[in-house]
């Protein structure tokens, strides 16, 4: 019976190539995983306008009311004054609500609270929300939300 032999040089060349392929595929899988699980970029340009006359925005017509649009929560905190912050909790991404009695944003899942500027009032969330600027045009009945 004949046995196949392989030179030491060929053996290491073949094994080295295989290890390289394995490491390369693990790296590319790891890199793509990191891209998918990273935080949402906060430097995205935001600029949109809500019309108070629209049915979807009727809650904004009353003091203490709020709506969520484009992952941003917009609330009328005082008569004719509007505030806007990112709508998802920085702890685990739960959609926030606005509590007019406390003038704070509230996470229903683990009870984090944020002030009107998006700063953490109570954890477990540790990072602030993104705050957006609001421009009210009462004559036109619009609220512009922008970064």
Quote the least distance from Cβ 72 to ligand FES, whole Å: 16
Angle 13-16-22 from CA coordinates, rounded to 5°:
145
Quote the least distance from Cβ 96 to ligand FES, whole Å: 8
Distance CA 117, CA 99 (A): 14
Q: How many helices (H) and strands (E) does the chain have?
A: 1, 10
Binding of ligand FES by 142 (CB under 6 A)? no
Distance CA 96, CA 126 (A): 15
* Run of H or E including 6: none
Q: Segment 79-98, which members bind ligand FES (CB under 6 A)?
A: 89, 91-92, 94
Quote the least distance from Cβ 122 to ligand FES, whole Å: 9
Q: Segment 96-135, which members bind ligand FES (CB under 6 A)?
A: 107, 109-110, 112, 124-125
Quote the least distance from Cβ 38 to ligand FES, whole Å: 18
Is residue 69 within 8 Å of 52, Cβ to Cβ? no
Residues of the shown chain interacting with ligand FES in the complex, contacts defined by CB under 6 A: 89, 91-92, 94, 107, 109-110, 112, 124-125
């Amino acid at each position: 019976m004949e046995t196949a032999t392989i030179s030491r040089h060929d053996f290491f060349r073949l094994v080295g190539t295989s290890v390289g392929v394995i490491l390369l595929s693990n790296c590319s899988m790891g890199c793509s995983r990191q891209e998918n699980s990273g935080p949402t970029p906060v430097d995205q340009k935001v600029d949109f306008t809500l019309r108070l006359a629209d049915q979807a925005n009727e809650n904004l017509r009353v003091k203490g009311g709020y709506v969520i649009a484009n992952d941003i929560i917009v609330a009328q905190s005082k008569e004719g004054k509007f505030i806007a912050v990112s709508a998802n909790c920085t702890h685990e991404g739960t959609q926030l609500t606005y509590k007019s009695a406390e003038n704070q944003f509230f996470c229903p899942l683990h009870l984090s609270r944020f002030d009107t500027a998006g700063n953490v009032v109570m954890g477990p969330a540790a990072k602030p929300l993104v705050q957006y600027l609001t421009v009210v045009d009462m004559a036109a009945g619009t609220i512009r939300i922008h970064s």
